[in-house]
Structure 1
């Protein structure tokens, strides 16, 4: 109340001063009244001084002959309020007011309605400004430009808005407005730009919009529209841009809109449109961008589309189109982006495709196309994305593609291509993905492949490639997947392959490889899948294979390997293996580890000299190891006596074991009673059960014994975390969740399990080097306990923001960011069904000994079953806001719609934390809702302030590299979800700023790569 009284007093004082002082002074008084409500922590308005006789020299003030006509305080990191104290009568000639990209709070400023000469009003991107729009907006009769985009205004658009007869641009992008859209909008006779996207204004547009004869741009994406596209849109003859995406529009594309003479962009993607593409599309003579993707369109692509001479982008993917690709589109000289994938197209591609235009993206994958690949796709020298996979193309790969230096992603697998791979295709400096698998290609892998230093995926399996694996492949430090299975490769496995330290998948099975398995393979610490089966490899299995701590699939079957299985393999996490096979070799001796697991069912057959030890049983020949039954039946009396002795000794051992078992059961009973008292039991012992997700070297009792207050290392909203130090030297992180019967005090009846089920459904089924391992869980019906690997370096949030802060140099911060990105990419792209984390934050990124980031805390995770990616409209709705303050994506609050783009936004916030050293919500940002995203955006508006954004504690960083990571972070935190990159793209971009590649200074090639990264983001 005292603040309101003070405001009233100040307002009265300013009014009195305005009467007493002259014309120049009353402008100063009015401006200072505006400033009095603003929180200006960085002195952006320091030039606004009461001692000045005129405000015309002040920051952001525009004057004409000493009279203030414009105020622009946009993007200055301001907060507070711009409502209540300002009297527009002191600035009667004010024609423009801009306060965009700040953190002003409150409702629509009432004083603005008294600025009768106002022509332009920009209040966009003030996330704390909201409430209802005033009904008397029509008082601003001269207003031409109104932008309230990304301000959470609620309610409906007032009918009175139609009174703004001079309004030319109305921008209400991504507010919280609801429909229906008032018919009075059709009275805005001067309107040229109407943007209403991402408001709930459905189910249909008012027909009065047909009266807007001057309208040039109409954007209503994500507005909840349904039914048919209204044919009266064809009356808007000056329309240049029509966007109705992400709605539920159905029926045919109306012919009436296909005769708009000035339309350059038609975007109708992500709807439910049916029928064919009308031939009348030729009437769009000015069209440059056509996007009808992700609908249910059928029929053929009309040849008439080729008569639109300026067409540059054609996106018709994810429909049910049939027939051939029109030959005439090869004559479109402006064409650069062709997306026709996921249809039912047949026939041959136009042979001259690319001859007359500079194609950049050409994607016709997943169709039924045949014939040869056009030779001139890269004639313009700009082709970077070539997608031809899953068709029936034949002939050879055009040699011209071998000289196309711009290629980044080439995927032509699943065709009938033959002949040799053009030598130049192996060594592209910009190449990230090369997938030519499942064809009939011949020749050898050219040693020039070493030039593809950015290569992440090399898939060449299912061909007839021969020759040796080049030793130069060791230079592919970014290579994540190498699959050369099912070829005719010869020679030995080069030891240099161990230099590909990013390898996760290595498949060389089904070739003619010889010689030993190089011991250096143990250096591939990220390797998860290794298959060398069906070759002619010889020698012993190197013990170094046991160093592959992340391995979950190993297949060495059908070779000529000999000797004993090295005991080092026992160090592998065999309990979590999906596949293990050393069958049909020449191995001898006993298996040096327990194989009592279903994964080992036929893992050792075909090795006559090998015997297997199972739990509780001595080494015996397996049924599939061709043991000599005749020899076993001819035992000497001495041997029989020895056996009898063994039997008696075994009986004694069994008796002793039984005694020990009863003793342990007694101790366990006593322990359970103690634990029941510890957990506040109800006078009865609750039975604990343990569910393992990995092979365990500890017992349930070891876990429960650690739940002592002296071992607490953290406490959060879900429960307490304990450090368990076991006798074998192993350390565990044990999370005891609050009681499911009601939270911390166990008195509520809500039954919330604090993420227990989500954790075991997600972490219990996934394996990745950058995702923390859930070892097991324990439960007694009332209390749930989760057990993880212990991370000695704690969380990223701790090291950034606690007393430990400052120890993270740039290299460590980068490794933490890249590791977490890998983990999140795995959840989004490699898991079936897809997993959304929903609580990505720095406190949920744990740090390994080498400071690699590992995703943790899956208590809010969600399996996205049966949904497509969020980019294509997938996801699911929520009734509340999951996540943590400062990390929650804007669309959560706007639509309560969750998909992987929300995770990506949260990850972008983590990147900003790494760069700035600040928390997502920091007192230094201001008191009115400013978060780290808004703060950074405001800071970088001025070149002088860009460097000040970065954490001064960072050492060993290139400013250019930090700037590039900043660009990636801002890309991830885009307001519009569709504009955010995928996590695979984030990983690729981060790899371009690897500090280990810049330690000796950037090479020319690295500089080029970083320039291309700048272009991407």
Structure 2
């Protein structure tokens, strides 16, 4: 009655023709925010709601039986009014913004069989009353913020078949009483910060269970043998835990098991005997454990789709019987200690598609049957001891896309057809003993992007047909015996980024038209027999930063246009060059770049010594200039000493403008072996050495006596104030400065990681503190990315920065005990070394997380920078590693888009929201940085997706940093590794790591 009065007062045109159930649903519409007007057609003028979208009714009784409001962008608390629909059996609010707690009176929905509230914003504890719904069969609460323990009443569900609480904040141990719900067919507890606990042996009572997922549930102890009683089980996933002991032999009796995932644990022992009984098995992943022994021969007879035993310390031979598996199409055994010859029938009886045997100790030859079925796409076997020739049969394998056979003992000539495989984009044959020529058939390799032939015995001339491979990005063939000139067609390779042919026998002049290599980043033709002039067109290669033409017979002058380049490496030594060195390079720092050219002249000591005409006169001028220089230096030094002592007295005087430094009162605390003293640091802290300043103090660049440089952060007690008697009292800001200093010292003092900035030492006195870091020549990523020097950051450089930063943050989250949350990840806190390697810096607000990772910790104040702060952190002040992941995602978006995290152009949006909105409305090309080369578009888009995922509004949807690193490694290595397809919405982890992309060669 109250509802009728409400509608009459506030909606005078309301029609009372709508039946009672329609009124309840109309009340639901009024109670929820519906910005996309998905419920606009729910009209009060209808007789009943059966014609409304998202509503289903019984065709006979016209009573509402289901309401499906999935993906509707609805917001508000759960509408309990739905429970008044007495015949309602199904409710779905999947992927909305239903918030607040789930009310206890939801148990009044007595007819429900299906309840899907996944991917919402629900908080609080799980309602203990849910088991009071007698017929409930499907309960999916995935992707919310439920916390606390699973209520004991959940062991009393009567008919529940599916129970999923993946990606919540549940703590406590995995409860044994769930083993009492004998009707369960799917149990998914993955990705919750449970307390360390064992897998309950009681789960062996769930004899109807088909799917058991407990990924990253903080499981410890051994796998209970009782799981061998689950005869209907098709998918068992216990990955990313800390399980120990052996794999129970009872699991070998699970004849229905299709997928067994045990990766990233601490399992030991051998794979159990009797696995041949697992006749349905298609995928086994026991990677990243400590397994030993050999692969059971009966396992090799299974129709496996994927076998991954990465990083188990596995030893022994690969059984020949594995080659007879009739359905084997993916075999990944990289990163082990496997030995012996490869089975010579491997691939003969199975449609082998992906083969990765890298980083083992295999010997013998490559089987000729690898591509017998014509489906082989990846052949990866780097870092083994394989010998013999490449089988001629592979010339017919037109399905191949990646070939990596580097660092073996392979030899002989490459079959002609192998060079022209049409789908191959990567050929890596580095460090073998191959001989012969590159065949003209390479013209057919239309998809080839990377040709890496270094450190072999290839000979003959480079064929003209190489210039027809228009997609070639890298051609590296150093340390071979190639002869003759560079073919003129090579200038047609407009996508070329790297050309490295050093240490060969190439001759002739460099081809004209080099300026067509607009994307060339590295040109290394050192130690050949090239002659003639250096082409002027090299000066037009705007992105070139590595140029080495040393050890040739080049003559003439150095083109002045080379001054247009921004080179990190330059070497023209040991040629026959003459004339003046261009002024930009006529510096002592470039001296070694020009040695061995008697005709070159410039203001560099040791050059021009071979010239004789007017030599005596030149020596007289040189003596006069030298004398004048010495006199000037003496006068300068006297002036400097006078100024120093005068300035020091002024600074020390009561009315001076500075603050004196009493060296006798400094305390030094070192964290590494030092090659300098605190006095050397203190003497250099003057305004001329300031390279930056911030709210906490100044940063100085100090060049030490050994020639190395360090960065010094100087923190003054900015909040200090004088008391009545002149004593210094600590104000609030002093406490904050102390906290920041202590956090920085405690954090960086114990960290040893290549992607975390190194803290050499700290110096402390009463009112001043110094932090001495390694010096990073290229400054911060933010300064470089958003300045005129942005052009230095091509996509490969940006990608390396992203990966370096991810590895640094992953170390903080996963490898530090206890974990560390940075709390201020941003582009200005990512520093770049001379080679643009990235280091995470500035740990002044970092916090040690004493609670389990995933469980938020409350902070008293917001730390972080505008545009980088995670939404939940700003509202709740609760912080965990997901806050850092959001900030890292913003940095990724910065690097992909070239935009600032906040910009007036975005209006009220920040960068993360602007990216999403723009992609939805205008497409992805509208957000990509226009300065990035379009040839990397696919890779850039994949990284963009990672940035978008990291900046998900819900913390539970953000991947862990360890997973992000895996994804980036996969992208960076051009990995085509197959991910496990999960049904029912389980997220697919990117855990396959291609060993062939490890190390400097890869």
1:45 to 26, 39, 47: 39
Change (3 A) 1:921 1:219: farther
Q: CA deviation at 1:659?
A: 5.0
Contact kept, 8 Å, 2:261 with 2:285, in 1: the verdict is yes
Contact kept, 8 Å, 2:187 with 2:213, in 1: the verdict is yes
Q: Which residue of 2 aligns with 1:586?
A: 576
SS at match of 2:49: coil
Contact kept, 8 Å, 1:357 with 1:380, in 2: the verdict is yes
Identify which range, 163-172 or 735-744, moves more after superposition. Answer: 735-744
Give, in whole Å, the separation in 2 of the partners of 1:816 and 1:652.
42
1:516 to 509, 516, 519: 509
Q: Which residue of 2 aligns with 1:828?
A: 803
SS at match of 1:166: coil
Q: Which residue of 1 aligns with 2:311?
A: 318
Contact kept, 8 Å, 1:517 with 1:542, in 2: the verdict is yes
* Mapping for residues 290-439 of structure 1, pairs under 5 Å: 290-308=284-302, 310-439=303-432
2:139 to 142, 146, 151: 146
Contact kept, 8 Å, 1:383 with 1:404, in 2: the verdict is yes
Change (3 A) 1:672 1:149: farther
- Is the aligned partner of 1:95 residue 2:89? yes
* Mapping for residues 569-648 of structure 1, pairs under 5 Å: 576-577=568-569, 581-588=571-578, 593-597=585-589, 606-607=596-597, 613-614=603-604, 619=607, 621=609, 647-648=623-624
Give, in whole Å, the separation in 2 of the partners of 1:861 and 1:333.
55
Q: CA deviation at 1:60?
A: 0.9
- Is the aligned partner of 1:982 residue 2:957? no
Contact kept, 8 Å, 2:714 with 2:769, in 1: the verdict is no
* Mapping for residues 810-959 of structure 1, pairs under 5 Å: 819=794, 822-825=797-800, 827-828=802-803, 896=881, 903=888, 907=892, 932=913
Give, in whole Å, the separation in 2 of the partners of 1:934 and 1:113.
41
Give, in whole Å, the separation in 1 of the partners of 2:330 and 2:975.
25
Deviation string for 1:958-1005 (max 9, x for gaps)?
xxx9999878755765545549973466579999xxxxxxxxxxxxxx
- Is the aligned partner of 1:468 residue 2:461? yes
* Ranges in structure 2 where 5+ consecutive residues have no aligned partner: 664-685, 700-710, 721-731, 756-767, 813-821, 845-852, 931-935, 950-956, 977-1002
Deviation string for 1:568-623 (max 9, x for gaps)?
5566556x54xx544443344565544534x855x555555556743xx58464xx
- Is the aligned partner of 1:27 residue 2:2? no
Q: Which residue of 2 aligns with 1:1013?
A: none
Q: Which residue of 1 aligns with 2:528?
A: 535
Identify which range, 168-177 or 503-512, moves more after superposition. Answer: 503-512
SS at match of 1:245: coil
Contact kept, 8 Å, 2:15 with 2:44, in 1: the verdict is no
Change (3 A) 1:457 1:22: same
SS at match of 2:481: coil
Give, in whole Å, the separation in 2 of the partners of 1:276 and 1:413.
30
Give, in whole Å, the separation in 2 of the partners of 1:110 and 1:894.
28
* Mapping for residues 637-676 of structure 1, pairs under 5 Å: 647-648=623-624, 650-656=626-632
Q: CA deviation at 1:185?
A: 0.6
Q: CA deviation at 1:286?
A: 1.7
* Mapping for residues 549-564 of structure 1, pairs under 5 Å: 553-564=546-557
- Is the aligned partner of 1:187 residue 2:163? no
- Is the aligned partner of 1:232 residue 2:208? no
Q: CA deviation at 1:241?
A: 0.8
Contact kept, 8 Å, 1:887 with 1:905, in 2: the verdict is no
Contact kept, 8 Å, 1:96 with 1:120, in 2: the verdict is yes
SS at match of 1:490: strand
Give, in whole Å, the separation in 2 of the partners of 1:290 and 1:211.
24
Contact kept, 8 Å, 1:509 with 1:531, in 2: the verdict is yes
* Mapping for residues 250-261 of structure 1, pairs under 5 Å: 250-261=244-255
Give, in whole Å, the separation in 1 of the partners of 2:512 and 2:637.
43
Q: CA deviation at 1:158?
A: 1.0
Change (3 A) 1:962 1:348: closer
Q: CA deviation at 1:428?
A: 3.8
Deviation string for 1:801-829 (max 9, x for gaps)?
xxxxxxxxxxxxxx999955751245527
Q: CA deviation at 1:898?
A: 9.6
Q: CA deviation at 1:364?
A: 0.7
Contact kept, 8 Å, 1:920 with 1:932, in 2: the verdict is no
Give, in whole Å, the separation in 2 of the partners of 1:431 and 1:399.
16
Q: Which residue of 1 aligns with 2:217?
A: 223
Give, in whole Å, the separation in 2 of the partners of 1:590 and 1:911.
42
SS at match of 1:907: helix
Q: CA deviation at 1:390?
A: 1.5
Give, in whole Å, the separation in 2 of the partners of 1:589 and 1:441.
42
Q: Which residue of 2 aligns with 1:59?
A: 53
Q: When the two structures are aligned, how many residues end up with a matched partner?
A: 862
Q: CA deviation at 1:24?
A: 6.2
- Is the aligned partner of 1:81 residue 2:101? no
1:749 to 722, 737, 757: 737
Change (3 A) 1:954 1:266: closer
2:242 to 245, 248, 252: 248
Give, in whole Å, the separation in 2 of the partners of 1:530 and 1:953.
32
Contact kept, 8 Å, 2:26 with 2:44, in 1: the verdict is yes
Contact kept, 8 Å, 2:509 with 2:530, in 1: the verdict is yes
Q: CA deviation at 1:500?
A: 3.9
Give, in whole Å, the separation in 1 of the partners of 2:915 and 2:5.
34
Contact kept, 8 Å, 1:836 with 1:899, in 2: the verdict is no
Q: Which residue of 2 aligns with 1:113?
A: 107
Give, in whole Å, the separation in 2 of the partners of 1:438 and 1:342.
19
SS at match of 1:467: strand
SS at match of 2:270: coil
* Mapping for residues 718-797 of structure 1, pairs under 5 Å: 748-750=736-738, 752=740
SS at match of 1:33: helix
Deviation string for 1:657-713 (max 9, x for gaps)?
65567778999999999999xxx96566999xxxxxxxxxxxx98998999xxxxxx
Deviation string for 1:626-664 (max 9, x for gaps)?
x79xx9xxx9xx987985675456434544565567778
TM-score (norm 2): 0.72
Deviation string for 1:44-71 (max 9, x for gaps)?
1112222333111112111113111111
Contact kept, 8 Å, 1:384 with 1:409, in 2: the verdict is yes
Contact kept, 8 Å, 2:332 with 2:354, in 1: the verdict is yes
Q: CA deviation at 1:115?
A: 0.5
SS at match of 2:892: helix
Give, in whole Å, the separation in 1 of the partners of 2:326 and 2:602.
69
Q: CA deviation at 1:337?
A: 1.0
- Is the aligned partner of 1:205 residue 2:180? no
Q: CA deviation at 1:277?
A: 1.6
Q: CA deviation at 1:327?
A: 1.6
Give, in whole Å, the separation in 2 of the partners of 1:962 and 1:511.
34
SS at match of 2:315: strand
SS at match of 2:106: helix
CA RMSD, Structure 1 to Structure 2 (Å): 5.8
TM-score (norm 1): 0.71
Give, in whole Å, the separation in 2 of the partners of 1:186 and 1:323.
40
Higher relative contact order (CA 8 A, sep 6+): 1
Q: CA deviation at 1:190?
A: 0.4
Q: CA deviation at 1:289?
A: 0.9
